């Protein structure tokens, strides 16, 4: 069963600044996650990112939240691993 993907405004801004090849890679991986969410173990974050999860895509990170009842993945932030955890 496939989950819906919803991008927050901050995630859209992050994507707008990226190279097209990186965007394609991230979107392809998010699509994969939405289709395989039930069999995937999500990595939960701590601290300022409590109740959020991360998806590693090479040196890039996608920070998202899940809504199980509505089967939605809400993407909050997308960025390089050296900068992403400084956002919050």
Domains of the chain by residue range: 4-86
Which uninterrupted H or E stretch holds 74? strand 72-80
Percent of the chain with pLDDT over 70: 97
28-46 pLDDT per residue, tens: 999 999 999 989 988 999 8
For residues 16, 12, 45 and 53, what is the CA-based torsion angle, rounded to 10 degrees? -120
Tell me if the domain spanning 4-86 has CATH number 3.30.2310.20.
yes
Q: Token digits for 15? A: 């994507």
Report, as an integer, the average pLDDT of 52-80.
95
Mapping DSSP to helix (H, G, I), strand (E, B) and coil, where does residue 76 land? strand
Region at 32 (left for phi over 0; alpha for psi -120 to 50; beta for the rest): alpha
Measured at the alpha carbon of residue 79, what is the angle toward residues 69 and 58, in degrees to the nearest 5? 90
- Mean of per-residue pLDDT scores for the chain: 92
């Amino acid at each position: 069963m496939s989950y819906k993907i919803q991008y927050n405004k901050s995630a859209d801004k992050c994507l707008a600044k990226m190279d097209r090849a990186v965007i394609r890679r991230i979107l392809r991986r998010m699509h994969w996650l939405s289709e395989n969410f039930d069999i995937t173990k999500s990595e939960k974050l701590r601290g300022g990112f409590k109740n959020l999860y991360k998806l590693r895509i090479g040196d890039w990170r996608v920070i998202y939240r899940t809504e199980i009842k509505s089967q939605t993945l809400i993407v909050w932030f997308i960025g390089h691993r050296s900068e992403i955890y400084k956002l919050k």
